[in-house]
Amino acid sequence: MGSYVQAEDQVPVYESGAELVRQFTELALENIYLRRRRALVDSLEWIVLQVLQEKYCCKKSSGHAAPYPAMYSSVVGGIILDPAMMVLPMDDHMVHRGHGVFDTAMILDGCLYELDAHLDRFLRSAANARIASPFPRDTLRGILVQMTAASGCRRGSIRYWLSSGPGDFLLSSKGCPSPAFYGVVIAAHYEQCREGVRAVTTAVPMKPPQFAVTKNVNYLPNVLSIMDAEDRGAFASVWVDDNGYVAEGPMVNVAFVTPDRELLLPPFEKILSGCTAKRMLALAPKLVDAGLLTAVVNDRHITVDEAKRSLEMAFVGSGLPVLPIVQWDDQHIGDGKVGPLMLALSDLLWEDMKSGPDRIPVPYAASSN
């Protein structure tokens, strides 16, 4: 067990599954009954570990990198670097009842972007789902920064979850002794999006507002809607509400440049308030000042017909940050080409990700590449 971070309150880092198994076997063997069967306990746990590690070694030997460089689990009580040990208990209510929330943050050039904004939304989602946190906010933040440092990853993302925790297989979470917190680092070489894509209107029903505004793990509608889009040769789908107003995409917000050169994003009252979308709204007045846009609007609904008459349209989300849409269903947006205003907004967000004020430098160890 070691440390890959530089901080006062360091989280334990388990570099290998063997180290983790030894740690928990020693705790288990404090029980006299198990001590008498030490050889059996050791052999069974090592067999399980060996099978799991062989699975991931096969992936690496076939040219696939280890899927995730680091994970945190409050159940384990530390950061795990061995992919074979990155597991969740089956009786965690997030697994079998969907009682959990999650959020994300991007890693770019060794910095976490907008972690605080995402963490605030994360805790609002947890409150909506009636899930307490096992740690104060500052501790959650510190764990995520240390997990990223331990991973050595300098470009990608982190994802993290709060669940009502493991306990039983009942519907109620009252049998769960403690909520659980998990996190994982996902290495990915993403770049700014500058090519246009096609979107389609999905027939998959959207979530009711109470659930749409909470970033929870119940993503079946989202999954089915993007599968619907992929089946139809599109990048992603767009939800339209019962009143005929544009809502959002399955994992992104939607933005428009109207014929009057207004930047318009649908209100967040019935959809998820995207952190990247809100950052776009904060940066866009620079284009108003430059005379490229006439206004920035987030308090007005837009119908499908109005939206399809837009000059430009884009998906907006953390990993994009702006993805121009050049065709919606069978209709071209504008002239059917990527427009200059969405590219200008993309440039503003990308520059903010690389040098803006909402970046947290990750305290990697000196030996980390």
pTM: 0.88
**Bond from prior residue into 208 cis (ω within 30 degrees of 0):** no
Q: Do domains 13-187 and 197-355 have the same CATH topology?
A: no
Spatial CB neighbours of 102, under 8 Å, sequence gap ≥ 6: 122, 125, 159, 160, 161, 162, 215, 216, 217
Residue 291 region by backbone torsions, left for phi larger than 0, else alpha for psi between -120 and 50, else beta: left
Q: What local confidence, expressed as pLDDT, does residue 59 receive?
A: 53
Q: For residues 140-154, give the mean pLDDT.
A: 97
C-alpha pair distances (Å), 327 with each of 5, 198, 238, 280, 314? 46, 5, 12, 22, 10
Asked if residue 221 has pLDDT above 50, the reply is: yes
Question: Among 6-20, 112-126, 266-280, 304-318, whose mean pLDDT is lowest?
Answer: 6-20
Phi then psi for residue 110, to 5 deg, are 75, 15
From 207, 215, 270, 308, active-site residue = 215
CB 75 within 8 A of CB 89: yes
Region 273-297: mean pLDDT is 98
Report the topology of domain 13-187. Answer: D-amino Acid Aminotransferase; Chain A, domain 1 (3.30.470)
**The pLDDT of residue 63:** 56
Asked about 354 being catalytic, the answer comes back as no
The answer to whether the beta carbons of residues 342 and 312 sit under 8 Å apart is: yes
Domain 197-355 top-level CATH class? alpha beta
If one counts every other C-beta atom within 10 angstroms of the C-beta of residue 363, the result is: 15
pLDDT in tens, 222-244: 999 999 999 999 999 999 999 99
Query: Which burial class, exposed, middle or buried, applies to 75 when counting CB atoms under 10 A from its CB (0-12, 13-18, 19+)?
Result: middle
Kindly list the domain boundaries of the chain, sorted by start residue: 13-187, 197-355
Across the range 147-175, mean pLDDT stands at 97
In tens, the pLDDT along 33-62 reads 444 444 444 554 555 556 556 666 555 555
Q: What is the pLDDT of residue 339?
A: 97
